[in-house]
Amino acid sequence: MRTRTTNEAATGTRPARRVAGVLVAAALCLGAAPGVASATPTNPSDAQLGAAQQQKDAAAQQVGALSAQLASAQAEVDAARAQSAIALDTFQGKQAEHEAAQAAADAATAAARQAEAELAIARSNVADFARQSYVQGSTNPTLEALTTADGPAQMLERAALLEAAGAHQGDVVVQVTAAEQQARTADAAAQTALAAAATLEQEAADALAVAEQLEASARAQAGALATQQATVQQQLQQAQETLLGLQGARAAAQQYAAQQAAAAQAAAARSTTSSSSAGTHQLVSNAGAGDSSAVETAISAARRYLGTIYSWGGGSLSGPSMGWGVDAGIVGFDCSGLTRYAYAQAGVSIPRNSSAQYQALPKVSRSDLQRGDLVFWATNTSNPSTIHHVAIYLGGGQILEAPQSGSVIRVTSMRWGGFIGGARPSA
């Protein structure tokens, strides 16, 4: 049985099959009766064989160099995608801070408006007091009320009433002062909160711009890589055809020489008529623990969206949503959007972005991973701030993930390169 070489596996079977077909045809011609005319294959000289060997070595060297270039280019694309994911993570965190600051600003604004309303009421009360004093002709009607009393009993009654009225008027003045101070304080708090919200909004916008630029760069590199792969594939195919052709020429010449020697021996020993038959031989290859309920609920929720397109920045607590920036208009999930949605269906609340999920949840080592745990990847496995991807561990060396732009939610094999650790939402 002939084992395929590495180069043949890389370049496919069509070139090898074409060359093999040529060799089979040559063998059939060479196996014909000696009396049948056939073209004699040229037996390469030592110099030709040496040149062929040099061409073979050069082709192998070219294959190695091109493979190294592809590996380097792929590493650059992967690094750009990782940095893009980290930048998106930062944006999502800033966006959450901005939303919280905006809510605080709205509450402060509402408090300021309430204080202004109370101040208006208090000022109205003071205006009413001044109006009554003017109508009565005195700002101090107490003496007039007492001197016009019809007797001691009425005087005592009026004195009590006037005392209560005076206390109320004093309260009105105090309320005005307090309302003015409260209005000023509430307005200042509202302005501060609004300024903080505006700053966070700008920071979020800056983070999003960086993320979009990195993602666009990654996609451009990926496109260039695809073009380069096509070129390399063609070069590999041509090199392989050349090598197989040279090897076939040598094999044909050697086979022809052997058959000629056999024919000569047969002719010398021929004394009786003989016949021959050919048989075929077909070689048959016979290629031979957390809350389990929450875990299964989360996995089931994520599985419902297998095949759903990846959307950069997409995914909400209720399901797929519009992406950000380069994926604006695409409805789907990104990696952390999927994990947060899945566990939300199990009643488990986790942060929006991947690095925050890792920081917030109980950690799990590689040897202790269980079904339903979240697994994380980073560009620097000693630095959690470089986390750029998260998936759900299914057990048995399988994960469920929203991998990257241009792909879909899938179940695939666990990858240990860049693995920084696990976390258990169900703990």
From 98, 212, 215, 401, the catalytic residue: 401
Rounded CA-CA distance 426/136 in Å is: 76
Are 326 and 219 a contacting pair, CB within 8 Å?
yes
Residue 401 among the catalytic residues: yes
From 212, 215, 335, 388, the catalytic residue: 335
- Which candidate, 26, 28, 43, 34, places its Cα nearest to that of 260? 34
Structure tokens at 131: 């109006």
Rounded CA-CA distance 336/89 in Å is: 9
Cα dist from 341 to 100, 166, 233, 302, whole Å = 20, 63, 41, 8
Number of other CB atoms surrounding residue 380 within 10 Å: 12
Contacts of 388 (CB under 8 A, 6+ apart): 81, 82, 83, 84, 85, 86, 89, 354, 377, 378, 379
Are 94 and 204 a contacting pair, CB within 8 Å?
yes
Rounded CA-CA distance 164/120 in Å is: 23
From 212, 215, 388, 389, the catalytic residue: 389
Rounded CA-CA distance 80/216 in Å is: 9
Residue 335 among the catalytic residues: yes
HSE (CB half, 13 Å, CA atoms) of 398? 9
Residue 97 among the catalytic residues: no
Number of other CB atoms surrounding residue 32 within 10 Å: 11
Are 242 and 55 a contacting pair, CB within 8 Å?
yes
Active site residues: 335, 389, 401
